[in-house]
Every structure is written in structure tokens, then in C-alpha cells.
Structure 1
Amino acid sequence: MRKYNPYSLPPWLRQVRGVCAQFIIPICVFQGIRTIFLPTTFDVLILAICIVVAICFHLEWI
């Protein structure tokens, strides 16, 4: 498997990735609070997806 290099991406895509990395944690917090008060299956699924994406950004898999 080839190693991922974020600098090989176009500049606009690197900027979009950076903006998404900044906003994913507040979205996770908001979704977690919403899931605590209104725990539906959809909310739990969205929270799980947000957490996985946040971990991927943190470990630089995306």
C-alpha cells in the first residue's frame, strides 16, 4: 500500500481538508450533546461517523 502524502494534493483540497479538520471536533461535541438529550438511532449513527472521521483526521489517515 502506498504511503499517504497530503502535500501531493491540490492546494484547494488541502485547504478543504484543513477546514474540515478544524470543524469536526465542535460538530462531534454538538452531536454528542444532542445524542444525550434525544437518543435516536440516526443521532447515534451520525455521532459514530463523526468520531471516526475525527480519529482519521487526528491520525492523518485522511
Structure 2
Amino acid sequence: MKRRYTPYTLPPWMKKFRGVCQQFIVPFIVFQGLRTLIFPTFFDMLLLVAFIFLAMSLYFEWI
């Protein structure tokens, strides 16, 4: 039987790491968005999409 994921059963260091990531992901998205507007390369767009997906997954507690 598959175990359900709950963020409340994580170790304390993992909870702290998730909190730090949640604080820093928005400035990274803003910086990467501005960089993508100035120098639009495929890598910049790919990195911006990855940051947005990471922010959504942290906000909705998917990871």
C-alpha cells in the first residue's frame, strides 16, 4: 500500500530547507523574468519555467 505524503511528517531540517526555498524562489523568478526579457535565450526560458514550477509545487505543497 502506498504511503501518503504529508509535509508535517518531515524532519525539522527539511521543513527549514523548504521554508528557505519558499522565501528565495520569488526573487529568483523576478530576476530570471527580467533576464529573459532582456536576453531571451532557450536556456533562460527553460530556467524560468523550472522556477515557476518549483514555486507552484512549494506553494501547493506538492513537494
TM-score clears 0.5: yes
What is the number of equivalent residue pairs in this alignment? Answer: 62
The normalised TM-score by structure 1 is 0.91
Q: Deviations over 1:21-56 (max 9, x none)?
A: 111111001000000000011100000000001111
How many Å separate the matches in 2 of 1:25 and 1:2? 31
The higher relative CO (CA closer than 8 Å, separation ≥ 6) is in 2
Q: State the SS of the aligned residue for 2:61.
A: coil
Q: Which residue of 1 aligns with 2:12?
A: 11
Identity %: 53
Give the TM-score of the pair, scaled to structure 2: 0.90
SS of the counterpart of 2:54?
Answer: helix
Instruction: Detail structure 1 runs of 4+ shifted over 6 Å in the superposition.
Output: none
**Alpha-carbon distance in 1 for matches of 2:60, 2:4:** 13
Could you say what the CA RMSD is over the residues aligned between the two structures, in angstroms?
Answer: 1.1
What is the 5 A alignment of 1:1-62? Answer: 2-62=3-63
Unaligned runs of 5+ in 2: none
Report deviation, 1:60. 1.1
